[in-house]
């Protein structure tokens, strides 16, 4: 059984729904979930919020948080996961924001840095991964793998 099948089954068992707020992954997480039979039992909507304005307007991310910490930050990922959960009215929200490359990196936030926020039934967990400058689509693919492995663990609790 694939990790995304495990996640869908755990969501069904708990009676939870999930929504994604994706930036650098551009909808890949939602697409991966939809590959699983019965995804419609746990997914009603999802958002690709690539622009900062979309994060603010659709998810309720505070523009001051973006200004203060940068869009690629655990603080923004936290607000993204809570915001998408609130917007979708679901128990699980995932926020993903990062620098997939090949440009856009800085010394403090290099290409391959991705921040994640997971909202699960009232609790937020944030994580940052440094995948390295391995190529845009590899950073995106590794991010999706990280999301589903993390969800699989978080839904065990």
Task: Identify the pLDDT of residue 76.
Answer: 98
CATH number for region 3-154: 3.90.950.20
Task: Identify the pLDDT of residue 157.
Answer: 76
How would you label 85-117 residue by residue, b for 16+ Cβ within 10 Å and e otherwise? bebbebbbbbbbbbbbbeeebeeebbbbbbbbb
Cα separation, 18 vs 22, whole angstroms = 13
Task: Identify the pLDDT of residue 102.
Answer: 95
Task: Identify the pLDDT of residue 124.
Answer: 98
* CA 155 to chain CA mean position, Å: 15
Which strand (E) or helix (H) includes residue 3? helix 3-14
Cα separation, 28 vs 14, whole angstroms = 24
Task: Identify the pLDDT of residue 112.
Answer: 98
Domains in the chain: boundaries: 3-154
Q: Which residues contact 138 (CB under 8 A, 6 or more apart)?
A: 131
Token digits for 52? 């900062």
Task: Identify the pLDDT of residue 2.
Answer: 97
For the chain, give the number of residues.
157
**pLDDT tens for the chain, residues 1 to 157:** 999 999 999 999 999 999 999 999 999 999 999 999 999 999 999 999 999 999 999 999 999 999 999 999 999 999 999 999 999 999 999 999 999 999 999 999 999 999 999 999 999 999 999 999 999 999 999 999 999 999 999 999 7
């Amino acid at each position: 059984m694939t990790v995304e099948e495990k996640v869908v089954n755990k969501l069904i068992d708990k009676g939870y729904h999930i929504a994604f707020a994706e930036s650098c992954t551009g909808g890949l997480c939602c697409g991966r979930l939809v590959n699983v039979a019965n995804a419609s039992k746990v997914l009603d909507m999802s958002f690709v919020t690539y622009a900062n304005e979309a994060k603010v307007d659709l998810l309720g991310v505070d523009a001051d948080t973006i200004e203060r910490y940068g869009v690629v930050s655990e603080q923004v990922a936290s607000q993204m996961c809570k915001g998408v959960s609130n917007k979708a009215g679901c128990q699980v929200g995932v926020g993903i924001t990062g620098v997939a490359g090949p440009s856009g990196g800085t010394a403090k936030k290099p290409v391959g840095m991705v921040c994640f926020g997971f909202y699960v039934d009232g609790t937020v967990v944030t994580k940052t991964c440094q995948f390295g400058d391995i190529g845009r689509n590899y950073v995106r693919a590794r991010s999706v793998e990280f999301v589903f492995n993390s969800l699989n663990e978080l839904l065990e609790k």
